[in-house]
Amino acid sequence: MRIRSMGERDLPAVMAIERASFAAPWSEAQFRDEIARDDRVWLAAEDETGAVVGFGGIWVASDGAHLMDLAVSPNRRGCGTGRALLWALAEAAAQRGAERVTLEVAQSNRDALGLYLSSGFDVAGVRRGYYAETGDDALVLWSRPIRSHLAAIAAARERREMVLAIETSCDETAAAVMRGGCELLSSVVASQVDFHARFGGVVPEIASRKHTEAIVGVVDEALEQAGVGFEDLHAVAVTQGPGLVGTLVVGLAYAKGLAFARNLPLVGVNHLEGHLYAARLHDPALEPPFVALVVSGGHTMLVHVPEWGRHRVLGRTLDDAAGEAFDKVAKLLGLGYPGGPAISRLAAEGDPDAIPFPRAMLRSGDLDVSLSGLKTAVLQYVQRERAAGRELHLPNIAASFQAAVVDVQVAKTVRAATKHGVRSVVMAGGVAANAALREALRAALAEHDVRLVVPPMALCTDNAAMIAAVAHDEIVRGRFLGLSVDADPTMHLRGADESRHVRI
């Protein structure tokens, strides 16, 4: 795809795209008039064959620019053409002195709205009934300062952008500084686990308060360790979701404040995508397509990743997450919180075949799992043994429980990998720290010539380095947040259908 200036000879193709895109298209005469004006910039995007697949125009008046029109051929949508045109127009406007871009978009035009809201625009107001032909309302959108965004995009394309990333989705306050998406200059993680241990799990209200107390110090520490100041940053990245809403907002509020005060672009990152990118930080040669097993305290899912930034969820837990199962079983065995490390330590001394706990859905034929029945089976076993007056053999219970989890996860992951014909599998999230799961999965995948990529411990558990790694790719794509954005506690991994996740 190439972007160049648009001329009269493009009008037939432009008219076809215009008509296919809007209920009340502009006339050819209007386009003729527009492209002749010297306070306008009109650009066309052409494909490899030279055919026009999109176009857009912007009006530059003093330090402001107004987007007049932007449209992409229906069969070329969803490939980044619209966003590329938008930033090319913004760049041309910036060269002529514009600081910001405004535009109107029909409220019902979800694709266009999704494009603008994920390019750093905020909704400034509504014009009721603005589109006379359809009666549709127009949303008036304002961009954030375009120069700093263009500078971040240019730096990221040359892999020299400096990003501060912040992560507060659960009980770790984390900040990291990264250059070029792979050079980690600092990564600070302040865990609150001691504060929650006495309650046997994360208490959201306590977590929010602890993040509020810790965030300034954690960010300062990350900057100091990296030897950089706020003035050296190209962008600030933050986990937007999924996670606890009350903890996400702490990181997001800090990031928004910094972005506003320093005119920095704001990049929103999906926490789960962060876990996937942890594998790339560990192994820069990792390239999609691959299958990822995400196993954390809040999620258990198998995801097909055909390319970075695209995901298809193949299967997930129908009830408890794997980490949650470890934590609940540890609690009922009196092992404290978090349960995963305690169970895996005990399991190392036990016999995994001692107790035949159920392997739910092992042969269900799909890629979903269910873990709550296993937890109940452990509970019933413990109650039976106690009622019979027998002493519990904790290492055997831990080892047998862990073996049941491992068997199901391994079987489903191998099935997903072979079904989708991938050569690499990524395991990510806190439970990926489990040695028995790592070894069993590595061995089972090796039989099918599939390699397992597991990040080291510090990158498996929650951290901000993985958030910074995602941010690099988002900046290259020109994807940013406006400052009116909210935390998204149930945020989905981005798939083919982006518009589903648009919020205004």
Alpha-carbon distance 66 to 101, whole Å?
A: 5
Q: Which is nearer to Zn ion, 57 or 430 (CB)?
A: 430
Residues 426-455, mask of contacts with ligand KG4 (x by CB under 6 A): ---xxx-xx---------------------
Count of residues binding ligand KG4 (CB under 6 A)? 19
User: Which of ligand KG4, Zn ion, none does 119 bind, CB closer than 5 to 8 A by kind?
Assistant: none
Tell me whether residue 241 or residue 340 sits nearer to ligand KG4 (CB atom). 340
Alpha-carbon distance of 68 to 218, in angstroms, equals: 44
For the sheet with 424-428, list strands across it: 310-316, 300-307, 290-295, 424-428, 451-453
- How, if at all, do strands 64-72 and 100-106 pair? parallel
The answer to whether the Cα torsion of 48, 50, 51, 53 is positive or negative is positive
Give the integer Cα–Cα distance in Å for 273 and 285: 17
296 interacts with Zn ion by CB under 5 A: yes
Helix or strand (DSSP H, E) at 474: helix 465-477
Q: Which one of 29-37, 113-121, 296-304, 477-485 is the stretch in contact with ligand KG4 (CB under 6 A)?
A: 296-304
Partner that binds at residue 120, options ligand KG4, Zn ion, none, CB closer than 5 to 8 Å by kind: none
CB of 469 to ligand KG4, least distance (A): 16
Q: Could you tell me which stretch among 285-293, 309-317, 336-344, 349-357 binds ligand KG4 (CB under 6 A)?
A: 336-344
Of the two residues 241 and 339, which places its CB atom closer to ligand KG4 in the complex?
Answer: 339
Q: Which is nearer to Zn ion, 73 or 192 (CB)?
A: 192
CB 310, min distance to ligand KG4, A: 22
Smallest distance, Zn ion to C-beta of residue 205, A = 20
Helix axes 271-282, 465-477, angle to 10 degrees: 100
Contact predicate 337/192, CB 8 Å: no
Q: Is 326 in the site for ligand KG4 (CB under 6 A)?
A: yes
Segment interacting with ligand KG4 (CB under 6 A) among 130-138, 304-312, 334-342, 479-487: 334-342
Element (H, E) at 260: helix 245-262
Pairing outcome for strands 424-428 and 451-453:
parallel
Residue 167 in the binding site for Zn ion (CB under 5 A): no
**Distance of closest approach, residue 222 Cβ to Zn ion, in angstroms:** 18
Is residue 324 a contact residue for Zn ion (CB under 5 A)?
no
Distance of CA 355 to the CA centre of its chain: 40
Q: Determine, following the binding rule CB under 6 A, whether residue 350 of this chain makes contact with ligand KG4.
A: no
Under rule CB under 5 A, residue 462 binds Zn ion: yes
- String of DSSP letters for 28-95: HHHHHHHHH-TTEEEEEEE-TTS-EEEEEEEEEETTEEEEEEEEE-GGGTTSSHHHHHHHHHHHHHHH
CB 484 within 8 A of CB 123: yes
Residues that bind ligand KG4 (CB under 6 A): 170, 296-298, 323, 326-327, 338-341, 344, 429-431, 433-434, 461-462
Residues that bind Zn ion (CB under 5 A): 296, 462
